[in-house]
Structure formats: structure tokens, C-alpha cells
Amino acid sequence: MDFIASPYFPVLLAFLVNAAMMTVVSGMALVLGPKKPTKTKLEPYECGIPSKDSARTRIAAKYYLTAILFILFDIETVFLYLWAISFDKLGWFGVTEAGLFVATLLVGYVYIIKRDALRWE
């Protein structure tokens, strides 16, 4: 009974209830859902453009670079948001560290611009 008094018991309980609901709903969709596969329904669909080539074609590295840069600047936003929340507790040390962080990101941004990484042909 000490386990029920644990502060982690509600987390485990929520996890088990969610797992059970997910299993039941997925099972219901599998059993009750319509099954009328046609050639059109089985074709891959992406962005409203009919597929022309195989899925094994090469993709330009610019797509990957754009995705990585998006994630990088997204994480930057998260760090700056956390810094803004604790701004009054950090004092001048926090201002200095945030300035160094932003300066480092600006150097990277200037490097990206000079390499024409964001320019599409």
C-alpha cells in the first residue's frame, strides 16, 4: 500500500489508462472501420502532388538544411523564453550569458547567409 501513496502513482495510473484507451480505440477502428482498398487509395499522397518517381529518388540537401536550421532557431526561441522568465533572478550574469548566446547565434546566422544556405535555386 505504500506504492499507492507514492507521488508517482497518479502518473503511472494516467499512463495505464491512456494506454488502455489507445488500445481500445485503435482496436475499434481496426474492427469497425471500412475496408475498401482501391488503387487510388493505396497510392502515396504528399502535398497534393501526384507522385511521379520512386520513393528512392535523391532529395536535395537544402531540404535537410532548412529543417535543421528551423529546429536550431526553434530551440533558440525556447532558451530565450526560459531566460526571459527567470530574468529577474539571474541578474547581470543572466544578461551576459544571454548576450553571449545571442551573439553566438548571430555569428552562425551570418555564416549561413554568407554561404547562401537559405537561398533557393
Domain ranges of the chain: 9-114
Q: pLDDT tens-digit profile of 63-92? A: 788 888 888 888 888 888 888 888 888 888
Mean pLDDT computed over 16-42: 91
Grid coordinates given for 44:
502515396
Flag whether pLDDT at 19 surpasses 90.
yes
Architecture of domain 9-114: Up-down Bundle (1.20)
Instruction: Determine the Cα–Cα distance for residues 118 and 49; give it in Å rounded to an integer.
Output: 24
H/E stretch holding 32: helix 9-32
Task: Report the pLDDT value the prediction gives residue 18, as an integer from 0 to 100.
Answer: 97
pLDDT of 54 strictly over 90: no
Please check whether residue 76 is in contact with residue 105, taking contact to mean a CB–CB distance below 8 angstroms: yes
Give the integer Cα–Cα distance in Å for 108 and 95: 20
Which pLDDT value is given to residue 63? 79
What's the rounded Cα separation, in Å, for the pair 76 and 105?
8
